[in-house]
Structure 1
Amino acid sequence: MAKRIPLEPIVNKVGNYYETVHVAAKRARYLYTTDSYTFGVDEKGEEHKKTVIALLEILDGKICPKREK
């Protein structure tokens, strides 16, 4: 079963929903181009879809969007 991720902590890290979707989609597309399989494996060895892996990476702070000042 797919893992449910709360979006509020991710949105708080990124800034807003639009930017969160943009960053996660860009990272998920990159993951799909490097490995075309539907599922990927996170650091704990669990299988997730690439979009979930992208959101987990944002939540862990591995990916942060460039912010213009």
Structure 2
Amino acid sequence: MSKRIPLEPVVEKVGNYYETVHVAAKRARHLYSVDSYTFGKDDKGEEHKKTVIALIEIAQGKVCPKRD
């Protein structure tokens, strides 16, 4: 079902833990607003919680924080 994502690679992509949590929470809220079903599917078709999908997307570089 849901798996653990190591945060170190995700934090390296974003810059710091605070911003990582902020970006992941914002993306997870967006995923829930689009589809309120509890689980979503990743690229391989496996079901995960929306927060895990948000972290996977950040680690893959699909989602990044807005820079000024």
**Cα distance in 2, alignment partners of residues 2 and 38 from structure 1:** 11
Q: CA deviation at 1:23?
A: 0.2
Is 1:18 equivalent to 2:18 in the alignment? yes
Separation in structure 2 between the aligned mates of residue 6 and residue 47 of structure 1, nearest angstrom? 18
Structure 1: which amino acid aligns with 2:54? A
In structure 2, the gaps of 5 or more residues are none
1:59 paired with 2:53, answer no
Equivalent residue for 1:47? 47
Instruction: Report the Cα offset of residue 67 of structure 1.
Output: 2.2
* Separation in 1, partners of 2:6, 2:33: 26
Q: How much has 1:43 moved relative to structure 2?
A: 1.0
Root mean square deviation of aligned Cα: 0.8
TM-score under structure 2 normalisation? 0.95
Structure 1 runs (4+) deviating above 4 angstroms are none
Q: In structure 2, what is the equivalent of residue 7 of structure 1?
A: 7
Shift of 1:66: 1.6
Q: Amino acid of the residue matched to residue 65 of structure 2?
A: P
